[in-house]
Amino acid sequence: MDTVETRELRYFVAVAEELHFGRAAERLGIAQPPLSRAIQQLERRLGVTLLERNRRGVLLTGAGEVLLEEGRATLDAAAAAVRRTRRAGDRGGGRDRLVLAVKAGAFHELLNKLLDAYAAEPGAAEIEVLPSGLCEQESMLRDGRADVALMHTPFNSLAGFDSVELTTEGQVAILPAKHPLAARKSLSMAEIADVPELPLARWSRHDSYPPGPGPEVHDQTQLAQLIALGRTMTVFPESARTWLWEEHAAVPLTDAPPVTTHIVWPAHSRSRTLAGLVRSASRL
Protein backbone atom coordinates (compact mmCIF):
# COMPACT_ATOMS: atom_id res chain seq x y z
CA MET A 1 0.00 0.00 0.00
CA ASP A 2 1.25 3.49 -0.85
CA THR A 3 2.12 5.62 2.16
CA VAL A 4 2.63 9.34 2.59
CA GLU A 5 5.01 10.76 5.17
CA THR A 6 3.93 13.63 7.41
CA ARG A 7 6.93 15.59 6.07
CA GLU A 8 5.55 15.28 2.54
CA LEU A 9 2.10 16.34 3.70
CA ARG A 10 3.58 19.33 5.47
CA TYR A 11 5.44 20.33 2.30
CA PHE A 12 2.36 19.90 0.12
CA VAL A 13 0.04 21.81 2.48
CA ALA A 14 2.49 24.73 2.57
CA VAL A 15 2.60 24.92 -1.24
CA ALA A 16 -1.17 24.46 -1.54
CA GLU A 17 -1.86 27.25 0.94
CA GLU A 18 0.71 29.67 -0.46
CA LEU A 19 0.15 28.70 -4.12
CA HIS A 20 3.78 29.70 -4.61
CA PHE A 21 6.85 27.46 -4.26
CA GLY A 22 9.17 30.30 -3.20
CA ARG A 23 6.90 31.49 -0.36
CA ALA A 24 6.23 27.90 0.72
CA ALA A 25 9.95 27.13 0.85
CA GLU A 26 10.57 30.25 2.92
CA ARG A 27 7.74 29.30 5.28
CA LEU A 28 9.19 25.79 5.69
CA GLY A 29 12.76 27.01 6.09
CA ILE A 30 14.11 24.95 3.18
CA ALA A 31 15.44 25.66 -0.31
CA GLN A 32 13.00 25.69 -3.22
CA PRO A 33 14.59 22.93 -5.41
CA PRO A 34 14.23 20.12 -2.84
CA LEU A 35 10.67 21.27 -2.15
CA SER A 36 9.78 21.04 -5.85
CA ARG A 37 11.37 17.59 -6.09
CA ALA A 38 9.46 16.37 -3.04
CA ILE A 39 6.12 17.46 -4.53
CA GLN A 40 6.97 15.81 -7.87
CA GLN A 41 7.90 12.56 -6.11
CA LEU A 42 4.64 12.69 -4.17
CA GLU A 43 2.64 13.13 -7.37
CA ARG A 44 4.45 10.20 -9.05
CA ARG A 45 3.86 7.91 -6.10
CA LEU A 46 0.17 8.81 -5.85
CA GLY A 47 -0.26 8.66 -9.61
CA VAL A 48 -2.14 11.97 -9.78
CA THR A 49 -1.42 15.60 -10.57
CA LEU A 50 -1.82 17.72 -7.46
CA LEU A 51 -0.71 21.11 -8.76
CA GLU A 52 -0.98 22.86 -12.11
CA ARG A 53 2.12 24.97 -12.69
CA ASN A 54 2.29 27.85 -15.14
CA ARG A 55 3.97 31.23 -15.53
CA ARG A 56 1.29 32.93 -13.46
CA GLY A 57 1.73 30.65 -10.47
CA VAL A 58 0.33 27.45 -9.02
CA LEU A 59 -3.23 26.13 -8.99
CA LEU A 60 -4.71 23.16 -7.15
CA THR A 61 -6.24 20.34 -9.17
CA GLY A 62 -9.29 18.47 -7.92
CA ALA A 63 -7.01 15.81 -6.45
CA GLY A 64 -4.91 18.55 -4.87
CA GLU A 65 -7.95 20.07 -3.17
CA VAL A 66 -8.79 16.66 -1.68
CA LEU A 67 -5.25 16.13 -0.41
CA LEU A 68 -5.16 19.65 1.06
CA GLU A 69 -8.27 18.97 3.14
CA GLU A 70 -7.20 15.48 4.14
CA GLY A 71 -3.61 16.56 4.70
CA ARG A 72 -4.58 19.33 7.10
CA ALA A 73 -6.71 16.87 9.08
CA THR A 74 -3.87 14.33 9.16
CA LEU A 75 -1.31 16.88 10.33
CA ASP A 76 -3.70 18.10 13.02
CA ALA A 77 -4.25 14.50 14.16
CA ALA A 78 -0.50 13.87 14.32
CA ALA A 79 0.06 17.07 16.32
CA ALA A 80 -2.81 16.13 18.62
CA ALA A 81 -1.35 12.67 19.24
CA VAL A 82 2.01 14.18 20.21
CA ARG A 83 0.51 16.86 22.49
CA ARG A 84 -1.89 14.52 24.29
CA THR A 85 0.78 11.83 24.72
CA ARG A 86 3.16 14.34 26.27
CA ARG A 87 0.38 15.66 28.49
CA ALA A 88 -0.40 12.13 29.69
CA GLY A 89 3.26 11.63 30.58
CA ASP A 90 3.54 14.94 32.42
CA ARG A 91 1.53 14.32 35.59
CA GLY A 92 3.18 16.33 38.32
CA GLY A 93 2.07 14.07 41.20
CA GLY A 94 0.53 11.32 39.15
CA ARG A 95 -2.72 13.26 38.75
CA ASP A 96 -4.43 13.33 35.34
CA ARG A 97 -4.83 16.68 33.61
CA LEU A 98 -7.36 17.91 31.06
CA VAL A 99 -7.13 21.11 29.04
CA LEU A 100 -10.51 22.84 28.68
CA ALA A 101 -10.76 25.47 25.94
CA VAL A 102 -13.28 28.26 26.50
CA LYS A 103 -14.08 31.49 24.72
CA ALA A 104 -12.28 34.23 26.63
CA GLY A 105 -14.57 36.15 28.96
CA ALA A 106 -17.79 34.25 28.28
CA PHE A 107 -20.07 32.06 30.41
CA HIS A 108 -18.38 32.61 33.79
CA GLU A 109 -21.31 31.26 35.80
CA LEU A 110 -21.63 28.04 33.81
CA LEU A 111 -17.88 27.47 33.81
CA ASN A 112 -17.62 27.98 37.57
CA LYS A 113 -20.50 25.56 38.17
CA LEU A 114 -18.85 22.95 35.97
CA LEU A 115 -15.44 23.25 37.61
CA ASP A 116 -16.93 23.12 41.12
CA ALA A 117 -19.12 20.12 40.32
CA TYR A 118 -16.28 18.17 38.76
CA ALA A 119 -13.79 19.04 41.53
CA ALA A 120 -16.19 17.39 44.01
CA GLU A 121 -15.98 14.07 42.14
CA PRO A 122 -13.67 11.35 43.59
CA GLY A 123 -10.40 11.20 41.66
CA ALA A 124 -11.11 14.38 39.70
CA ALA A 125 -8.36 15.39 37.31
CA GLU A 126 -6.65 18.76 37.26
CA ILE A 127 -8.45 21.08 34.82
CA GLU A 128 -6.39 23.66 32.97
CA VAL A 129 -8.69 26.37 31.57
CA LEU A 130 -7.36 27.69 28.28
CA PRO A 131 -9.03 30.95 27.07
CA SER A 132 -9.37 31.14 23.30
CA GLY A 133 -10.46 33.49 20.57
CA LEU A 134 -13.71 33.36 18.65
CA CYS A 135 -14.12 29.95 16.93
CA GLU A 136 -10.58 28.93 17.99
CA GLN A 137 -11.85 26.06 20.16
CA GLU A 138 -12.42 23.90 17.08
CA SER A 139 -8.79 24.00 15.96
CA MET A 140 -7.60 23.56 19.56
CA LEU A 141 -9.49 20.28 19.82
CA ARG A 142 -8.32 19.06 16.42
CA ASP A 143 -4.61 19.75 16.95
CA GLY A 144 -4.48 18.61 20.57
CA ARG A 145 -3.96 21.92 22.35
CA ALA A 146 -7.21 21.13 24.20
CA ASP A 147 -8.87 17.88 25.27
CA VAL A 148 -12.36 19.31 25.67
CA ALA A 149 -14.09 22.63 24.99
CA LEU A 150 -17.16 24.71 25.69
CA MET A 151 -18.49 25.69 22.26
CA HIS A 152 -21.46 27.73 21.18
CA THR A 153 -23.78 27.18 18.24
CA PRO A 154 -24.51 28.79 15.84
CA PHE A 155 -21.02 30.35 16.08
CA ASN A 156 -18.99 27.12 16.33
CA SER A 157 -19.19 24.05 14.12
CA LEU A 158 -19.57 20.74 15.98
CA ALA A 159 -18.83 18.66 12.86
CA GLY A 160 -16.55 15.72 13.66
CA PHE A 161 -16.96 16.05 17.43
CA ASP A 162 -19.10 14.44 20.12
CA SER A 163 -21.05 16.85 22.32
CA VAL A 164 -23.65 17.31 25.03
CA GLU A 165 -25.95 20.34 25.10
CA LEU A 166 -25.72 22.29 28.37
CA THR A 167 -27.77 25.48 28.13
CA THR A 168 -29.52 27.84 25.71
CA GLU A 169 -29.88 31.61 26.09
CA GLY A 170 -30.81 34.72 24.16
CA GLN A 171 -28.49 37.46 22.91
CA VAL A 172 -28.01 41.11 23.80
CA ALA A 173 -26.51 44.15 22.12
CA ILE A 174 -23.69 45.57 24.25
CA LEU A 175 -23.20 49.28 23.62
CA PRO A 176 -22.05 52.47 25.37
CA ALA A 177 -24.32 53.32 28.31
CA LYS A 178 -24.65 56.94 27.13
CA HIS A 179 -25.81 56.08 23.62
CA PRO A 180 -29.55 56.74 22.91
CA LEU A 181 -30.12 53.07 21.97
CA ALA A 182 -29.03 52.04 25.48
CA ALA A 183 -32.32 53.37 26.85
CA ARG A 184 -34.41 51.00 24.73
CA LYS A 185 -36.18 48.00 26.30
CA SER A 186 -35.25 45.86 23.28
CA LEU A 187 -33.74 46.13 19.82
CA SER A 188 -33.82 44.21 16.56
CA MET A 189 -30.82 43.06 14.53
CA ALA A 190 -31.81 45.51 11.77
CA GLU A 191 -31.75 48.42 14.22
CA ILE A 192 -28.15 47.77 15.26
CA ALA A 193 -26.84 46.73 11.83
CA ASP A 194 -26.46 50.27 10.51
CA VAL A 195 -25.56 52.80 13.20
CA PRO A 196 -22.90 54.98 11.51
CA GLU A 197 -21.37 56.32 14.71
CA LEU A 198 -21.38 52.89 16.36
CA PRO A 199 -20.34 50.16 13.86
CA LEU A 200 -20.36 46.55 15.00
CA ALA A 201 -17.01 45.20 16.17
CA ARG A 202 -15.38 42.63 13.89
CA TRP A 203 -13.91 39.45 15.39
CA SER A 204 -11.41 37.25 13.60
CA ARG A 205 -12.92 33.97 12.38
CA HIS A 206 -10.46 31.36 11.16
CA ASP A 207 -7.66 33.95 10.86
CA SER A 208 -9.62 36.50 8.82
CA TYR A 209 -11.91 39.42 9.59
CA PRO A 210 -15.34 39.87 8.00
CA PRO A 211 -15.77 43.05 5.90
CA GLY A 212 -17.26 46.13 7.50
CA PRO A 213 -16.50 49.55 8.97
CA GLY A 214 -16.25 48.37 12.58
CA PRO A 215 -12.90 48.03 14.38
CA GLU A 216 -11.00 44.74 14.30
CA VAL A 217 -11.15 43.27 17.80
CA HIS A 218 -8.48 40.93 19.15
CA ASP A 219 -9.63 40.26 22.72
CA GLN A 220 -12.35 41.08 25.23
CA THR A 221 -10.37 43.76 27.07
CA GLN A 222 -9.87 45.70 23.85
CA LEU A 223 -13.56 45.29 23.00
CA ALA A 224 -14.68 46.52 26.42
CA GLN A 225 -12.47 49.60 26.11
CA LEU A 226 -13.73 50.47 22.63
CA ILE A 227 -17.37 50.14 23.72
CA ALA A 228 -16.75 52.33 26.76
CA LEU A 229 -15.18 54.97 24.50
CA GLY A 230 -18.23 54.96 22.24
CA ARG A 231 -16.39 53.54 19.23
CA THR A 232 -18.26 50.26 18.68
CA MET A 233 -20.88 47.82 19.90
CA THR A 234 -21.23 44.05 19.76
CA VAL A 235 -23.66 41.17 20.11
CA PHE A 236 -23.10 38.59 22.85
CA PRO A 237 -25.09 35.92 24.69
CA GLU A 238 -27.11 37.09 27.69
CA SER A 239 -24.54 35.69 30.14
CA ALA A 240 -22.02 38.31 28.96
CA ARG A 241 -23.70 40.72 31.40
CA THR A 242 -21.36 39.34 34.07
CA TRP A 243 -18.31 41.16 32.64
CA LEU A 244 -19.91 44.50 31.71
CA TRP A 245 -18.46 47.78 32.96
CA GLU A 246 -20.46 50.74 34.30
CA GLU A 247 -19.90 52.41 30.92
CA HIS A 248 -21.69 49.54 29.13
CA ALA A 249 -25.35 48.72 28.59
CA ALA A 250 -26.93 45.44 27.47
CA VAL A 251 -30.19 45.54 25.51
CA PRO A 252 -32.05 42.29 24.59
CA LEU A 253 -32.30 41.48 20.89
CA THR A 254 -35.75 40.30 19.85
CA ASP A 255 -34.75 38.42 16.68
CA ALA A 256 -31.17 37.21 17.29
CA PRO A 257 -30.84 33.42 17.16
CA PRO A 258 -30.50 31.73 20.56
CA VAL A 259 -27.04 30.56 21.58
CA THR A 260 -26.63 26.99 22.79
CA THR A 261 -23.58 26.02 24.84
CA HIS A 262 -22.19 22.50 24.41
CA ILE A 263 -19.38 20.57 26.04
CA VAL A 264 -17.46 19.12 23.09
CA TRP A 265 -14.67 16.57 22.67
CA PRO A 266 -12.97 14.57 19.86
CA ALA A 267 -15.22 11.76 18.65
CA HIS A 268 -12.44 9.16 18.91
CA SER A 269 -11.59 9.91 22.55
CA ARG A 270 -11.72 6.97 25.00
CA SER A 271 -10.45 8.91 28.01
CA ARG A 272 -12.12 7.91 31.28
CA THR A 273 -11.02 11.20 32.79
CA LEU A 274 -12.77 13.11 30.03
CA ALA A 275 -15.87 10.94 30.41
CA GLY A 276 -16.03 11.94 34.08
CA LEU A 277 -15.95 15.63 33.23
CA VAL A 278 -18.69 15.17 30.62
CA ARG A 279 -20.88 13.36 33.19
CA SER A 280 -20.45 16.26 35.62
CA ALA A 281 -21.39 18.73 32.88
CA SER A 282 -24.49 16.79 31.84
CA ARG A 283 -25.81 16.90 35.42
CA LEU A 284 -25.64 20.71 35.69
* C-beta atoms surrounding 62 within 10 Å: 10
Distance between CA 111 and CA 175 in Å, rounded?
A: 25
Distance between CA 58 and CA 162 in Å, rounded?
A: 37
pLDDT of residue 206: 64
User: Residue 199: which of 216, 213, 218 has the closest Cα?
Assistant: 213
pLDDT of the chain, 284 residues: tens digit per residue = 467 888 999 999 999 999 989 999 999 999 999 999 999 999 998 999 999 988 777 899 999 999 998 898 888 888 878 877 777 766 655 568 899 999 866 667 888 999 999 999 988 988 999 888 767 888 889 888 999 999 999 988 898 899 999 999 999 999 999 999 999 999 999 999 989 999 999 887 766 788 888 999 888 889 999 999 999 999 999 988 888 999 999 999 999 999 999 999 998 888 888 999 999 999 98
CB of 17 closer than 8 Å to CB of 29: no
Provide DSSP, 138-160. Answer: HHHHHTTS-SEEEEEETTS--TT
* Main-chain phi, psi angles of 184, to 5 degrees: -75, 150
3-state helix, strand, coil in the chain (%, to 5): 40, 25, 35
- Angle ∠(185,167,265) on CA atoms, nearest 5: 140
Within 8 A by CB and 6+ apart from 56, the residues are none
Per-residue DSSP letter, 205: B
